Amino acid sequence: MTRVVVTGIGIVSSIGNNFTETYNSLIRRKSGIKPISILDTRHRGEFLIGEVRLTHQQLIKEADVSEDEPWTRTALLGIIAAKQAILSSGNTDVENAALVSASTVGGMDRSELCYYDMLEGKHKQYIDTHHAGNSTEMIARECGIGGLITTISTACSSSLNSIMLGARLIKSGQTKTAVVGGTDALSKFTLNGFKTLLILDKENCRPFDSSRAGLNLGEGAAYLVLEELESALKSGKEIYAEVTGYANANDAHHQTASSENGEGPYLAMKKALDLSGLTSGEIDYINAHGTGTENNDLTESIAIKRLFGDRIPLFSSTKAYTGHTLGAAGAVEAVIALLSLKNNIIPPNLNFSDPIDETGISPVHEVVQGKVLNNVLTNSFGFGGNDSSVIFSKVTGRSDKQEDVKSSQNILPVYINGTACVSPQNTSGNNHFPPEITELNEKFLQIQKPEYREYIAPKLLRRMSKIVRMGIVSSKIACADAGIEEPDAIITATGMGCQVDTEKFLTSMIENDEGLLTPTSFIQSTHNTVGGSIALGTGNHNYNLTYVHRTFSFESALLDSMILINEGLAGNVLIGGFDEITEDSWRIKTNINHYKAEAVSNTELFYDRQKGALAGEGSTFFMVSPDETDNTYAQIRGVDMFMHPGGNTTVENRIHEFLKNHELRTGDIDLVITGDNGDPDFDHIYEYLRKGVFQGNQTIKYKHLCGEYDTSSAFAMWLAATIIKENHIPKGLFTENESNIEIRNVLIYNQFRNVNHSLILLGKKCL
C-alpha cells in the first residue's frame, strides 16, 4: 500500500514568520496574543488577538510578489507559507503536484473595506478576490503548482481536512505530490461574528482551565508537502513524518456547539486511530483543538477520556500561543505537531492553572523535552459539527499494522441511484425533466420554490436561509429516491455559500459601525452550513466535507465521493452542489462583466450580445454507490479538472487524453453537454470544440435552463443522468441533430472564463 510522508513544512502566524521562529517561540513560551494593532476595528482596545505583525505592504514584500496585483491578506499569508514548504522539501518540482488549500474567510479583508464601493462599480480589482478559491489560485500561480487544485471550507477543521484529502489523493494514484494546508486572515467580519456568539475572551485564553472564558482569534497560514514514501526515500529527502491516520466525522448536535458526550470528536479520533493500525497506548502526544471556550474544551476532554480511558496521552492546546486561526488552524497545529515529533518536545498549554471539574484531566503546562515521541495526534473541530483528526508517525520504529485501504491508479466507476434537483425549471419533486421549458425574461434566474413545509418543520423554516432550505429539500428527495435513509458520507459543494446571510451580516456591520449585530446570519454564512444542517437534521455522524473552489467545487466533491467508495470506506455517498443568487451579488458582478446587466429571455440567451453570463442558482443532489440497483440512473466513469489550458488545441488534447484514460474515443460519445452561458467573450470556446473535437457528436447546452453559477455542473449531471435513464433528450435543448440513437455515454464539458475547465463522463448502467 502507498505510504504518504511529509517532506516539507511552512508556517506563518503570530509567533513566527517561519518554522524556526515558531519552534523558538514554542520552547520559550512566547505567546503571540496581544492587543489589536493591524486590524482596523472599533474593538481595538477591547480584545486580544494573534496577529501576524506585518502590514499589507510588508506581506507583499515577504511573499515576494508584484505590488500591482489585487492581493488579499489571506492570499499573501498562504503564498508565504506555501513557498516555505516547497523550499524546505528541497525545492520539490510541483509542476504536476496537487494543491489542496483551505480557507473560511477568503478575501473578506478586502471585501469589507470596499463593499458599498463595489456595488457602485468601484474597486473592481477586488471583486473576484472575495471567492475562497482566489487564494488557492494565487498560491498555485506564485508557486508554480500545475496539477489538480481545489479548496475546502469546513469552518475550523478546513485545513486538517485538506491534509487528509492530499494523503488520499496520493494513495488513490491521483498525484504523486500534494501541497496541502490553509490560510485565513483576520477581518472585522470574523471578529464581530465571534463577538455575537459571546465566546471571545478579553484576556489571554486559557484552554482546558476551569476558569476558561472564551477564545482569542488569530490569523496565519501553514502548508505541508506530501509525497509517496518510496519517492521521498529515493531522492534522499528529509522526512518529517508519515501520515498514518486521518478521519472526519460529524457531531450532528448543533451548528456551533459540540455535544455533551463529544460524539463527533470521539469518532474522528477513533477512526483515525483505527486507520493507522496503532493502539491508543501508542499515541504519545495530542495537539488538542482546545479553543478556550467552555463548551469545546469540556466536550473534547470528555471525548479524549472516552477513547483513551485511564491512559490519557500527554496533551496540550497551542491556541494560547497563536490564537484560533480558523480555517488555517488545522495546518498551523499540524506543523506544530510535526515540530514536536521531530524534536521530541511538547509545547505547554499556556495560562493553565486548574483542570475542568467535570473531567479532572490536566494538559501539559510546562515544556516537555527529552521524551521520545513516535506518534502524535492533532485535532480540529469546526462549526456545523465538523470534526477531524490526523496522526503523524516517525517513519522508523513504527509497526506495519495499518488497515489496508484499497488504492488504485484507476478509480472504478460508481453509480447514481438517486437524484433531486431544485432549479429555475419545474424540476423539484420529481426526477424527470419537465415536458416544457420554463421561459423566463429576468436579470437572473431564480429557483422555483418547492413546498418547503413538506420537508422542513415550520419552526425551523423561519430562521433558515434559502440556500439551506433548497439544500435540505433536494438532499431529502435524493435520499428517498435511492431508498437510503442514512448515507455513509455527505459531501457538498458551493462556490459562494450562503450569500444572503453573508450580505446581511456584512451590511449590518458596516451600517451599525460594528454594533447591534446578531449571530444567526454569521453562523449561516459559513460555507459548510448546508452540509452541517443535513447531518444535524438526520443525526448523521459520518464523513462530511464541503468544497468551495469556483466551478471546480462540484467536480471536487464528485472526485472525493468516488475515491471514498473505491477506498471501501463508504457504500452510499450523498453529494450535492448548490449556490444562490442575490440582487447585490448580481449587481456587483455585472460591474466586472461576469453577469449580464440587463434582463434577457433565457430561450434567446445564445443570441444576446451583452457581455457576461445569465446568472442563476440551484441545488442538485445525488446518491452514489459502488453497486447498481433497479433505480440506477447512470454510471459515473470519471471526472477531470484543469486550469489555464493555454489554448483550444490544449483543451482538445486534454479531452482526448481524458477519454483515452477511460478507453473511449470521441466517436464513442453519444451526447456532449456543454456549458455555454451566453457570454460572447467565452462561448466561442464551445463553438470551436463543436466544429473540432466534437464535430461528429450530438451536442446540447444547459445553462439557459439554470443560469450560470459555480456548481451548475451538478445540474448538468442531473440532466445527463436523466437523459441516460430515459434514453431521451427533452425537446427545446438546442439539439442540432434530433435522433433516436441509444444514449450510452455522455460527456459534460464546462469552463468558466477560460480559467477553470472540467469534464464529467457518464455511462449507461450495466444491468
With residue 423 as reference, give the H or E element that holds it. Answer: none
Strand pairing report for 671-674 and 745-752: parallel
Q: How far is CA 687 from the centre of its chain?
A: 32
Q: How many Cβ atoms sit within 10 Å of the Cβ of residue 357?
A: 8
Strand ranges (E), 610-656:
618-625, 634-643
What's the rounded Cα separation, in Å, for the pair 369 and 373?
10
Q: Which of the following is catalytic: 289, 527, 541, 549?
A: 289
Could you tell me if 327 and 153 are in contact, meaning their C-beta atoms sit under 8 angstroms apart?
yes
498 is catalytic: no
Cell of 478: 435524493
Catalytic position from the list 143, 156, 205, 706: 156
Of 130, 131, 253, 324, which is the active-site residue? 324
Cα–Cα dist 175/192, whole Å = 40
Whether the Cβ atoms of residue 579 and residue 495 lie closer than 8 Å to each other: yes
Helix, strand, or coil here: 748?
Answer: strand
156 is catalytic: yes
43 assigned to active site:
no
Cβ(202)–Cβ(250) under 8 Å? Answer: no
Closest CA to 759 of 616, 645, 622: 645
Alpha-carbon radius of gyration of the chain: 25
Question: Nearest CA to 5 among 276, 339, 393?
Answer: 393
* Residue 744 neighbours by CB under 8 Å, 6+ apart: 668, 670, 724, 763, 764
Tell me how far CA of residue 669 lies from CA of 113, 633, 673, in angstroms.
Answer: 49, 17, 11
CA distance 216 to 205: 6
Query: How many secondary structure helices (H) and strands (E) does the chain include?
Result: 23, 26
Phi, psi angles (nearest 5°) of residue 94: -110, 15
Position of cell 484514460?
Answer: 661
Q: What whole-number distance in Å separates Cα of residue 7 and Cα of residue 180?
A: 12
Query: What distance in Å separates the CA atoms of residue 676 and residue 375, rounded to the nearest whole number?
Result: 51
Q: What is the 3-state secondary structure (H, E, C) of 241-274?
A: EEEEEEEEEECCCCCCCCCCCCHHHHHHHHHHHH
Contacts of 34 (CB under 8 A, 6+ apart): 14, 48, 49, 50, 51
Q: Give Cα separations from 327 to 200, 321, 402, 599, 733 (angstroms).
A: 17, 17, 29, 38, 42
Selection from 221, 243, 298, 294 nearest residue 265 by Cα: 298
CB atoms within 10 A of CB 628: 15
Residue type for 81, please?
A
Phi, psi of 676 (to 5 degrees): -50, 130
Q: Which three cell numbers stand for residue 181?
A: 494546508
b/e code 143-172 from CB counts within 10 Å (16+ = b): bebbbbbbbbbbbbbbbbbbbbbbbbbbbb
Q: Give the total residue count for the chain.
A: 767
How many angstroms separate the CA atoms of 659 and 655, rounded? 6
Q: Give the integer Cα–Cα distance in Å for 716 and 215.
A: 43
Catalytic residues: 156, 289, 324
